[in-house]
């Protein structure tokens, strides 16, 4: 890792004060390739990370061996579990893995504590991110526990297709995103294909009728 002097250009929405300027100016640049573990269950938390580019997936392994995605951390965001572990001096309860190549600014636990004491801007950043992410995690768990799988699958496909269509994900990867089993996801995708809403390929799903998928997604939320 090395210094990260140009952090302002990567985090333009931060409210800068003298304490924040000094703090983030001491941050270290962290570069990670795709599919790299960032943290693991039971590991101590030693750094506060702000993602500058790329995407990290945070997931939990259930007692039954099923992977459930809790949330993603994208550019300009921080990890709610990392914040919680640093504040509570606890170990990670889940794992984080890079989905793409990631560039992040890393602050040591000591710098994190000093930043909370010295910088109102840093406090707003930390606790604002914490509040937003906690609300998202609660909604995510509510969806996994109670939301119908077909509506959640439709919503997930629409969100992914907004970036690229066809969606380049396997049925297993979609199942992990939804906290379900591959067989269940495959069955619903086949039904979507029979309805003419999608076209299935090898490791891909092409959306043909996003309006129908949006209607299904909305019905699952009502």
Q: Give alpha helix (H) positions in the chain.
A: 7-10, 18-25, 80-88, 109-118, 120-146, 149-161, 171-178, 182-194, 210-221
Q: Is the pTM of this model over 0.75?
A: no
**205 - beta bridge partners?**
167, 200
Confidence check: pLDDT of 207 > 90: yes
> What's the rounded Cα separation, in Å, for the pair 203 and 18?
49
Q: What ranges do the domains of the chain cover?
A: 2-145, 147-221
Is the pLDDT at 74 greater than 80, yes or no? yes
What is the rounded end-to-end Cα distance, in angstroms, of the chain?
Answer: 47
pLDDT digits (tens, 9 = 90+) for 160-190: 888 889 999 889 888 877 877 788 889 899 9
Neighbour tally for 50: CB within 10 Å: 26
Average pLDDT (39-60) is 91
**CATH number of this structure's domain 147-221, picked from the four choices 1.10.10.10, 3.40.50.300, 3.40.190.10, 1.20.140.10:** 1.10.10.10
The answer to whether residue 4 scores a pLDDT higher than 80 is no
- CATH class of the 2-145 domain in this structure: mainly beta
Instruction: Give the Cα separation of 169 and 204 in Å (integer).
Output: 5
Distance between CA atoms of 125 and 78, rounded to whole angstroms? 9
* pLDDT for the residue numbered 206: 93
Which of these, 41, 116, 36, 35, lies nearest to 83 by C-alpha position?
Answer: 116
Structure tokens at 178: 């939804």
pLDDT in tens, 85-112: 999 999 998 899 999 999 998 999 999 9
């Amino acid at each position: 890792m090395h210094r990260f002097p140009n952090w302002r250009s990567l985090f333009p929405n931060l409210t800068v004060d003298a304490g924040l300027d000094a703090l983030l100016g001491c941050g270290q640049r962290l570069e990670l390739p795709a599919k790299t573990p960032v943290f693991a269950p039971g590991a101590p938390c030693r750094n506060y990370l702000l993602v500058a580019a790329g995407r990290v997936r945070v997931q939990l392994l259930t007692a039954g061996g099923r992977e459930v995605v809790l949330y993603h951390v994208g550019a300009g965001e921080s990890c709610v579990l990392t914040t919680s572990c640093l504040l509570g001096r606890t170990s990670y309860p889940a794992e984080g893995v890079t989905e793409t190549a990631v560039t992040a600014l890393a602050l040591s636990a000591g710098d994190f504590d000093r930043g909370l004491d010295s910088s109102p801007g840093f406090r707003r950043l930390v606790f604002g991110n914490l509040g937003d992410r906690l609300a998202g995690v609660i909604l995510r768990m509510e969806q996994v526990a109670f939301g119908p799988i077909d509506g959640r699958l439709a919503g997930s496909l629409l969100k992914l297709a907004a970036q690229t269509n066809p969606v380049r994900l396997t049925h297993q990867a979609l199942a992990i995103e939804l906290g379900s089993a591959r067989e269940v996801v495959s069955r619903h995708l086949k039904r979507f294909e029979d309805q003419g809403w999608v076209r299935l390929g090898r490791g891909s799903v092409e959306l043909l009728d996003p309006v129908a998928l949006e209607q299904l997604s909305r019905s699952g939320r009502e």
